Amino acid sequence: MADLRTFFRSLEERHPRNASNIAGYIDRDGVFQWHVSGHDNLPAAVTVFDVVGKRTTGVVYTNLRKNHWLYTYTSGEGGNDLVYIDDKSASADAERIIGGVGNGKVRVLADDGPGPGPLRAPGGLYQAAKSLHDSQAPVKYEGENHTRDKGLHRALRYYMLAAYALLGKCRATEETDVWNYIAALLVDDEGRILSYGVNSGWFHHGETNMLLNYFRAHSNVATFPANTIVFSTLTPCKQCSTYLQGARPANSVIFIGQEDSGARGREGEKFGVHLSAVTDPIRYRTVTETWNNVVIGRKPPVGWAKVGEPITEKRRGEDKVEKHPLEEHLSKQMKEGASVADQIGRECQDILTHARGTFEYKSGKRRNNDGGEQSVKAQVLEYLNTWIASVNPQSSLRQVV
C-alpha cells in the first residue's frame, strides 16, 4: 500500500454507509492503523485518539466533514493532531484494522447502568424546565396549584447541585490526569439521569463525554431523547456547543451553572440559560455543623473572600449555618479572563467539597410526602442521593470504547 488518499477512497467504497467517518494513524512500523465508525455521533477519530493517546504518534488522518466539532481542539491550536485526508499527502507500508480497542489512554467518566430508576412522580420535569427557560426570569408562585411546579423548579436546582457534588467527589479521588472541573448531566422528563460526563482532558470535556457516553450506549439514534434537560456546570465551549447542537432534539433545554469568563465560554451562552438567572441561586453551607452526628460542613479556610450576601440561619438543635451562592463564589476564585476549565485550585476543591456536603445534607433530610412541592423534592433528592452514592469515580473512570 502506498498513498493514503487512495486507501481512504477504497475504504469509503467498502463502507458506503459510514463513508465519511474513517480515521487512522501511521504507527512506528509504517503501518496505517485504521477504524471506521458506524455512528455519526461517535467519530472514528475519537476512538483512534483514545487508543493512541495524545500526540504520541503524530497525526490522526480522517475524512470527517471539515466543520465537525472534533477539529476545534485537535487542529490548529499549536498542533495539527487531526488532519483532513485531502489536505496532506502521506503514505504507509501496510494497513491494519485497529485491534485491541479498549486499551485507550484517555479515560471518561461513564455511567455503568440505567441508574436506580425513574421518579415515582409522573414526570413533568421537562415542562417545568421549559417554562423556566422561556420565562428568562424567576417565576412567581401564587396559590396552592403552584406547589408542584415550585417543587419541580427546586428539583432542577438539585440536579445542578448534584453535578457540582459529582465534581467534589471526583476531586476527592485526586486523579492527577483528570481536571474534573466540568460536569454535565442528561436528565429525562421523569428525572432519570440518562448519561453524564466529567472533564477527562484535551477534547474530552464534560459535555462531550456525556454525549459520547450516551451514544456509545445507544448506537442507533441520531439525537439524544426528546423532553430532556442538560445540566452543565460551566458554559459549554465552542466544541461542546457544536456537538450539543448537532446531537440535541428540538424539545430539549440546556441549563448552565457557572459562567465561563474565558473566550472559549462564549459560544454556549447563545442557547443555554443560566439556572441562577431563572431560579434562586444555589447556595452551599460553610460553617461546621453536624446532622445526625455526622459532620456535613466545615469552616472555610482563612482568607476566603466573602462573595455575595451569605444567608445566616440558626436552627434549633443545630449550629449556625452560613450559605453562600455557589457559582459566584467559584468565579471569585478564578483568575480574571482565564478559562475556568484551565484552572482549579485548592479553594475551588474546597467549594466543591462544601457543595457535596450541602447536597448530602439536603438528601438526608426527611420531608413530608404531601403530593405537592415537598413530595417532588423528596423524591428527587432520594433518587439523586442513591445515584451519586452509586458513582465511584475511580472505577467509573474507565477506558474508552
Binding-site ranges for Zn ion (CB under 5 A): 205, 237, 240
Report in angstroms how near the CB of residue 283 gets to Zn ion at its nearest: 26
**Residue number, 121 or 237, with CB nearest to Zn ion:** 237
Return the SS3 of 79: coil
Distances (CA, A) of 174 to 168, 180, 183, 327, 339: 10, 9, 16, 22, 21
Report in angstroms how near the CB of residue 199 gets to Zn ion at its nearest: 8
Report in angstroms how near the CB of residue 157 gets to Zn ion at its nearest: 23
Question: Residues 198, 203, 207, 210: is their CA dihedral positive or negative?
Answer: negative
Bridge partners of 185?
A: 196, 231
**Residue number, 69 or 158, with CB nearest to Zn ion:** 69
**Which residues of 259-361 form beta strands (DSSP E)?**
273-274, 283-285, 289-291, 294-297, 311-314, 320-325
Alpha carbons 330 and 55: distance in angstroms, whole number = 32
**Residue number, 184 or 326, with CB nearest to Zn ion:** 184
**Residue number, 240 or 400, with CB nearest to Zn ion:** 240
Report in angstroms how near the CB of residue 297 gets to Zn ion at its nearest: 31
- For the chain, helix (H) and strand (E) counts, in that order, are 12, 17
Report in angstroms how near the CB of residue 237 gets to Zn ion at its nearest: 3
**Would you call 122 exposed, middle or buried from its count of C-beta atoms within 10 A (0-12, 13-18, 19+)?**
exposed
**Residue number, 264 or 283, with CB nearest to Zn ion:** 264
**Residue number, 161 or 237, with CB nearest to Zn ion:** 237
Alpha carbons 149 and 128: distance in angstroms, whole number = 6
Strand pairing report for 82-84 and 107-109: unpaired
Report in angstroms how near the CB of residue 380 gets to Zn ion at its nearest: 27
